Amino acid sequence: MDISNYTIDLALKPTTLDAWHVCLAGTSAILAGALILTLLALVMSLTRRKTTTEPQVKVVEKIVQAEPIVQVVEKIVEVPVEKIVEVEKIVEKIVQTPAPAPVVLKEASSDAALQLLYLLQNDARFIDFIKEDMSAHSDEDVGMVARVIHEGCNKVLNDHFSFAPIAKENEGDKITLIEGYDAAKVRVTGNIVGNPPFTGTIIHKGWQVTDVRLPSTVQGYNANVIAPAEVEL
Amino acid sequence: MSFFEKMKKQAAESVKKDEPKKETVEAKVDETPEAQHFDVEPETVEIAEEPSMQTEESPAEPIEFVAPQTQHSSSKIDDSEGKHFSVGIDLGTTHCVLSYADITDVEDAFSQQVMGISQLTSPSIVEEKLQLPSFIYQANDAELPANSIVLPWNPKPDLIVGEIARSLGSKTPIRLVSSAKSWLCHAGVDCKSAILPADAPDEVEKVSPFEATKAYLEHMSSAWLHLHPNAPLSQQDLVITVPASFDPAARELTVEAAKSVGLSHAILLEEPQAALYSWIEQTQGEWRKQAKVGDVILVIDVGGGTTDLSLIAVTEKEGILDFTRVAVGEHILLGGDNMDLALAYTVKAKIEKDGKRLEPWQIQALTHGCRDAKEKIFSSDIASVPLVVPNRGSSLIDGTLRSELTRDEVQSVLINGFLPEVSVSDRPVSRARAGLQTKGLPYAQDAGITRHLAAFLAKQINAADELEGIDVPEGATFLHPTAVLFNGGVFKAQELCDRLMNVLNDWLKSENAPEARLLAGADLDLAVARGAAYYGFVRKGKGVRIKGGTAASYYVGVESSMPAVPGMPPEIQALCIAPFGMEEGTQVELPYADFGLIVGEQVRFRFFSSTTRREDVVGTRLDYWQDDEIAELNEIEVVLDGEGRRSGEVVSVHLGSAVTEVGTLELLAFSNKDNGRWKIEFDVRN
């Protein structure tokens, strides 16, 4: 047998359809299908893993939130038909409880704060003083300068704010707080038991600002500059 | 910090910045729509509550002011219509004050308030202050940030006025215009020529004292309009105060400045009188118990830069008390600022003993410190107050200058220096001026206020002669005041008041006269403005009025007809053209003294005044007078404009004078042939 006769012609198509060929074609088709499926599954799982994590948690949260509503629905079913009015009430109550009044935190205006710093620095050298390394100076030196700072700060505060003590009585006096006293203005401490009226001693008379007189600024004013650099010519 | 650390820090910062945002986003996820709305609401409410100082009223370009996000208590804008106010302006040497009262219904009780004057306090910051410092700062073009000089009513003010001018000028005095008011009364200076700041280099744009006065009035007028958009100052009763010692030219300039900013109806009032009006108003009727018939009230007004003295007599006419201002003192450039400066130089001398040299800024800071220290020493019984001048750099403590001011120093410098115990025969010392003098203000040479006071009282011994019920005992060497009213922040120091009263009472005792009383209840800082506003109310026929008239008699110099003597100037006669105490709204003529004036040509006269020659009537000719009796003022000049006349025509005129309702003196030339009438200008020259 001449080897040269055994050339493989790849272009050749089987002319006869025997069982062996059918079997071969079927297997390759199944293998290709399996490969496509695994690839697809892989791609899908990858994309899923990317998108979920957070939304999934959210979904859970939403479900948790939704729970009471589901209960409401169940309750409605249980309540007799005649008492529709009451049912509505119940619905209202239940809807309110799971959504507590949202806490809105107000951001402090940085401009007013910067302005106060500006005034304290300009009239009282406040920033210079606080930023100075105190450990390098003697008490006597610090005390001397503190007088200047104190005087200036006092002037700034008096010029731009009006202060009033909250308690009219003197510190050390006995005071009785009746029910419904303003807990924001008076803080009780120590042996707090029972219900008001509370009787106690004024430790600190408290401060409140009754008037603010901060200057206006021109639009575009850079409040971050608390003290410009000074260059003497 | 290494680059890496920096990066880390920045990253951390950016995370921090993001955090709150995240929070709000998350919060909103849980929120019901109503809650979201609530989140916005408080802010809008706050903005609405804000007194709308900004936006409105700005011409052309809108200027926006950012008011701080707190409840803010600046003056509310009063845009109600049909209101009428009495407004008083204290146009001071160092600061101005505006006081006002609603007099829409004059039957209402009089109640007034001092207006907060919006002004720049530093670049881009506008604040309301009760006082407008009378300073102008001529800034360099590159000095201030762009658009930082704006006012709520003007996006581009021509001049920098007020607190900002004072604070910038304290570090750059060559660009600071100050004491314009004192220049107004400075003989020998043309107040309309740009001469201030006096020591400025050429590149600094200069302004005239007149323009400076205009600028202060303009600022207050605009600030008023901003708060009362429907009641412009030009439609209110307006009183502007001037020192009693202001000469006719200075009064005229003040009125002219007011006119040029649209305040042509302003009335002038002398400051010591204003102080007395304020006292009358503040005592709420109590004054009737404190002031009696026969009283001579001495008003001592020591301002920041000037000392002003006046005597006001109390008489009775048909059962009603009458106040008459009988005398005013000279213009003394000596005030509270001199006192602080004197203390600062005392402390400076003490520090320099140790070989240290003080820089100008340190002296200035010392002056500030001494002002506060002085007040502390006067208001308590501490023996000394430490004085600290911190270093200018950001490190406070290194290089800090320290000293102290003791009670003894205050005693010797202020009380014995400014209020020495002198006898009533003492007079202010005047040194011969140095041959070379810089062109400046004629500051008082003698700081002894008591000596100036002694001279004033002795000079005015006959001031109340014509009034019934006021008797000067025989042998008296000075007019005996029976009551004293102090004005000016200096007198917050009780020891200064006590010393002045003691000195005065010693003089009175030496002539067996009863001691003078102190009129209590005066508002030392704001009395002048308050009194001015009250005067507007008094002019409506409410309350007691002080009579005054001109504070001096006025003369023109006429060459006497005598043969010329070589080498001798021709003798001068003084011809009285306005008598002492001439009242507002009157006019006098001097028909028999003829002058031939050529149309279109300028004729100058020498001009004199006397605060003591009360008996001279119009037409009195004086050949001879004492040196201290008559003072020469600026020259006056007449130019006949050729209205309906031939150029070169000689017109025969006689002179006369009128006191306007406003309170200024007008000198007039009347034609002898027809009704021609010309105003004689108070000339000012360089």
Rounded to two decimals, the ipTM of the complex is 0.71
B657 close to B587: Cβ distance less than 8 angstroms: yes
What's chain B's average pLDDT?
81
Tell me what pLDDT residue A209 has.
Answer: 93
A115: chain B residues, CB-CB within 8 Å: 68
Mean pLDDT is highest, among B74-78, B293-297, B639-643, for B293-297
**More confident of the two residues B469 and A147:** A147
Residue whose structure tokens are 């500051």? B443
Q: Do B20 and A107 touch (CB under 8 A)?
A: yes
Closest by Cβ to A148, choosing from B27, B390, B395:
B390
Cβ–Cβ of A102/B31 closer than 8 Å? yes
What residue of B is the nearest CA neighbor of A144?
A: B388
pLDDT of residue B262: 92
Q: Which of B127, B392, B397 sits opposite A142 (nearest CB)?
A: B397
Question: Among A125, A144, A211, whose Cβ lies nearest the Cβ of B73?
Answer: A211
Residue B567, pLDDT > 90, answer no
Chain B residues touching A147 at Cβ < 8 A: 386, 388
Let me know: does B454 contact B401? Beta carbons within 8 Å. no
B84 near B237, Cβ under 8 Å? yes
Longest dimension (CA), chain A: 128
Please report, in tens digits, the pLDDT of each residue of chain A (233 residues total): 555 556 666 666 666 667 777 777 788 888 888 888 888 888 787 776 654 444 443 444 444 443 444 444 444 444 444 444 444 444 444 545 566 777 888 887 788 899 999 999 988 889 999 988 888 888 888 888 888 889 899 999 999 999 999 988 888 888 888 888 888 888 888 888 888 888 889 999 999 999 998 888 888 888 889 888 989 88
The Cβ of residue B235 has, within 10 Å, a number of other Cβ atoms equal to 13
Interface test with chain A among B389, B394, B400, by most A beta carbons within 10 Å: B394
Task: Indicate if the pLDDT at residue B108 is higher than 90.
Answer: no
A105 contacts in chain B (CB < 8 Å): 23
Adjacent-strand bridge partners of B609: B554, B631
Place of tokens 């219900």: A195
Q: For the purposes of burial, counting CB atoms within 10 Å of the CB of B29, is it exposed (0-12), middle (13-18) or buried (19 or more)? A: exposed
Alpha helix segments (H runs only) across B441-539: 449-459, 494-510, 527-538
* Of B284, B201, B207, B274, residue with least CA distance to B663: B274
List pLDDT tens digits, range B263-318.
988 999 999 999 999 999 888 878 888 888 888 999 999 988 889 999 999 988 87
pLDDT at B164 over 90: yes
Confidence grade of residue B218 (pLDDT, cut at 50, 70, 90): very high
Q: Name every residue in A having a CB less than 8 A away from some CB of B.
A: 99, 101-107, 109, 111-112, 115, 118, 122, 125, 128-129, 131-132, 137, 141-142, 144-145, 147-149, 151, 211-221, 230
pLDDT computed for residue B47 by the predictor = 35
Q: Does B396 sit within 8 Å of A111, measured CB to CB?
A: no
CB contact (8 A) between residue A104 and residue B32: no
* 3 state SS of B552: coil
Which residues on chain A are in Cβ contact (under 8 Å) with B69? 109, 111-112
What is the Cα–Cα distance from B376 to B671, expressed in whole angstroms?
A: 64
Alpha helices, DSSP H, located in B128-260: 163-171, 180-184, 209-227, 248-260
- Give the pLDDT of residue B13: 47
- In chain B, count H helices and then E strands: 15, 31
A220 chain-B contacts, CB cut-off 8 A: 124, 147
Contact B66 A137 (CB under 8 A): no
pTM here? 0.76
Mutate to test the interface with B, among A111, A218, A225 (most CBs of B within 10 A): A218
Continuous segment of H or E residues that includes residue B20: helix B3-30
3-state secondary structure of A176: strand
Inter-chain CB proximity B125 and A99 less than 8 Å: no
Which of B57, B58, B64, B124 should one mutate to test binding to chain A, selecting the residue with the greatest count of A CBs within 10 A? B124
B164 close to B119: Cβ distance less than 8 angstroms: yes
Mean pLDDT of B366-382: 85
What are phi and psi for residue B302, nearest 5 degrees?
A: -105, 105
Whether residues B66 and A219 touch (CB distance < 8 A) is answered with: yes
Give the per-residue pLDDT at B1: 44
Would you call B148 and A221 a contact, using CB atoms and an 8 Å cutoff?
A: yes
How far from the centroid of its chain's Cα atoms is residue B362's Cα? 28
Nearest-neighbour CA in chain A from B467: distance (Å): 49
Answer yes or no: do A122 and B122 touch at CB < 8 A: yes
B454: closest CA among B431, B489, B420?
A: B420
Rounded to whole angstroms, how far apart are CA atoms B488 and B444?
18
Name which residue leads in pLDDT, B672 or A56. Answer: B672
Stretch B39-68: mean pLDDT, rounded? 44
In chain A, whose CA is at the least distance from the CA of B399? A141
User: Pick from B466, B426, B461: which is nearest to B446 by CA?
Assistant: B426
Angstrom distance (rounded) from CA A128 to CA A226: 11
Task: Determine the pLDDT at residue A78.
Answer: 44
CB contact under 8 A, A122 and B27: no
Tens-digit pLDDT profile for residues B574-626: 888 888 888 888 888 887 777 777 777 777 888 888 888 888 888 888 888 88
CA distance B516 to B503: 11
Tell me: cis bond preceding B197? Omega within 30 of 0 counts.
Answer: yes
Higher pLDDT, B595 or B24: B595
Q: How far is A146 from chain B (nearest CA, A)?
A: 10
Average pLDDT, stretch B547-575?
Answer: 77
The predicted pLDDT at position A66 comes to 39
Chain A residues touching B147 at Cβ < 8 A = 218, 220
Compare CB distances from B386 to A104, A144, A230 and report the shortest one's residue.
A144
Residues of chain B in contact with residue A141, where contact means CB-CB under 8 angstroms, are: 397, 400
Residues of B in contact with A145 (CB under 8 A): 388, 390, 396-397, 400
Q: Which residues of B touch A117 (CB under 8 A)?
A: none
Mean pLDDT value of segment B411-434: 83
Lowest mean pLDDT segment, chosen from B125-129, B257-261, B505-509, B681-685: B681-685
Asked if the Cβ–Cβ distance from A214 to B390 is below 8 Å, we say no
Q: How far is B437 from chain A (nearest CA, A)?
A: 28
> What is the per-residue pLDDT across A183-227, written as a single tens digit (0 to 9) for each?
888 888 888 888 888 888 999 999 999 999 888 888 888 888 988
CB contact under 8 A, A218 and B66: yes
Res. B375: pLDDT tops 50: yes
Q: How far is A179 from chain B (nearest CA, A)?
A: 29
Interface test with chain B among A217, A226, A231, A233, by most B beta carbons within 10 Å: A217
**Distance, CA of A57 to CA of A54 (rounded, Å):** 5
Q: In this structure, are strands B546-547 and B320-328 parallel, antiparallel, or unpaired?
A: parallel
Peptide bond into B248 cis (omega under 30): no
Which of B148, B150, B397 shows the shortest C-beta gap to A145? B397
Tally C-beta pairs within 8 A across A and B.
115
Nearest to A213 among B27, B73, B372 (CB): B73
Q: Which residues make Cβ contacts (< 8 Å) with residue B494, sequence separation at least 6?
A: B378
Higher pLDDT, A225 or B105: A225
**Percent of chain B with pLDDT strictly greater than 70:** 85
Is the Cβ pair A212, B124 closer than 8 Å? no
Nearest residue of A to residue B171 by CA position? A232
Residue B262 to chain A, least CA–CA distance (Å): 28
Nearest-CA distance from B275 to chain A in Å? 26
The reply to whether residue B63 touches residue A218, judged by beta carbons under 8 angstroms, is yes
- A13 vs B166, higher pLDDT: B166
Average pLDDT over residues B29-53: 38
Query: Does residue B42 surpass a pLDDT of 60?
Result: no
| Strand-pair category, B296-302 with B117-122 | unpaired
Please check the confidence at residue B644 and state whether its pLDDT lies above 50.
yes
Q: For A141, which residue in chain B has the nearest alpha carbon?
A: B397
What are the chain B neighbours of A118 within 8 Å (beta carbons)? 125
The nearest alpha carbon in chain A to B70 belongs to A212
- From the list B31, B35, B127, the residue facing A215 with the nearest CB is B127
| Residue-level pLDDT at B509 | 92
Residue B228, CA distances (Å) to B100, B102, B216, B483 in order: 12, 12, 18, 40
